[in-house]
Amino acid sequence: MGDGGQGYFNNLILGTYKILEAAQPRVIFFENVPGFYDSTSYLDLKELLTPDFPYLIGPIDIDSFDFGSIVHRSRSYAVYLREKEDFELFRVPKAPKFRRFKLREFLDPKGTEHTWKSVKAWFESFSYKAEKNNLWADRSTEKIFVNPDTCTELQCIPRRYRSHSASNSYVLNDDGTQWRFLSVNELRRIFHILEWFEFPSHIIGNTK
């Protein structure tokens, strides 16, 4: 990227292209949200890369749920290749056979303390927002509060998971009157993060 005087930081697409040009890779693999591939930034980068990478695969949409995860995470992938041989050898990955896990299998042991909140209060807040904002009015609440013993599918867990949102999934208590967030350790199990991995203290602090 140079010393900053070349202007690459003012144009990240140009900067990205310069890095790729210098590295001279045989294959370039992109991963991003589906909407990225319709953006001007991506289309500009595609135009720059095409002369040297004439073989393009994708974008290919893949959802982690289709590959065994309990939580949805939709991403799109694109592969740029220099050589026709590599292009002809490429195969789109197919989902393996697997057993669907229930949410209960990822939860903390019984006796673990959690902060529970009122389902009624949540829906009162949701109804108020729906009256004020048409975007909220159209949102489904089917997968927001889930029963750990029957749930095999969660909505996407975004960075803003600790917010109150119809896009999130929360754990429902036995009588269906209270809910709670998934804990850090529960999210660790859902995402298959290895036990030896330690989260930085500032991340743990932001999840409480």
Residue 82 lies in a domain: yes
Read off the pLDDT of each residue in 115-133 and give the average, rounded to a whole number: 83
Where is the domain boundary, 62, 89, 116?
89
Closest CA to 156 of 34, 67, 64: 64
Whether 77 and 118 share a structural domain: no
Amino acid symbol at 131: E
Task: Reply yes or no on whether the pLDDT at 194 is more than 90.
Answer: no
pLDDT band of residue 6 (cuts 50, 70, 90) is low
Q: Given a cut of 70, is residue 205 above it in pLDDT?
A: no
The pLDDT of residue 131 is above 60: yes
Q: What is the mean pLDDT of residues 172-187?
A: 92
Q: Which domain holds residue 145?
A: 103-206
In a domain, 30, yes or no: yes
Residues 76, 109, single domain; the answer is no
| Whole-number pLDDT of residue 208 | 45
How is 132-164 classified by DSSP, letter by letter? Answer: H-HHHHT---TTTEE-TTT---B----TTTTS-
Cα 52 from Cα 202, distance rounded (Å): 43
Has residue 1 got a pLDDT over 70? Answer: no
Shared domain for 181 and 143, answered yes or no, is yes
Q: Indicate whether 156 pLDDT > 90.
A: no
Q: Are residues 114 and 174 in the same domain?
A: yes
Residues 124 and 68 reside in one and the same domain: no
Asked whether the predicted pLDDT for residue 108 surpasses 90, the reply is: yes
Tell me if 64 is assigned to some domain.
yes
Indicate which CATH number applies to the domain containing 172.
3.90.120
48 SS3 class: helix
Question: Does a structural domain hold residue 98?
Answer: no
Q: Decide if 29 is inside a domain.
A: yes
Q: What is the mean pLDDT of residues 79-106?
A: 92
Look at residue 95 and tell me if it is in a domain.
no
Number of neighbours of residue 207 by Cβ within 10 angstroms: 13
Residues 31 and 107 in one domain: no
With bands split at pLDDT 50, 70 and 90, how would you rate the model's confidence at 207? Answer: very low
Residues 116 and 62 in one domain: no
Least confident of 4-8, 51-55, 61-65, 193-197: 4-8
Task: Please give the Cα distance from 203 to 208 (Å, whole number).
Answer: 9
% residues pLDDT > 70 (the chain): 86
Query: Under a CB-based contact definition with an 8 Å cutoff, are residues 155 and 72 in contact?
Result: yes
Please identify, among 59, 89, 119, the residue that sits at the C-terminal boundary of a domain: 89
Q: Is the pLDDT of residue 87 over 90?
A: yes
The tally of domains found in the chain comes to 2
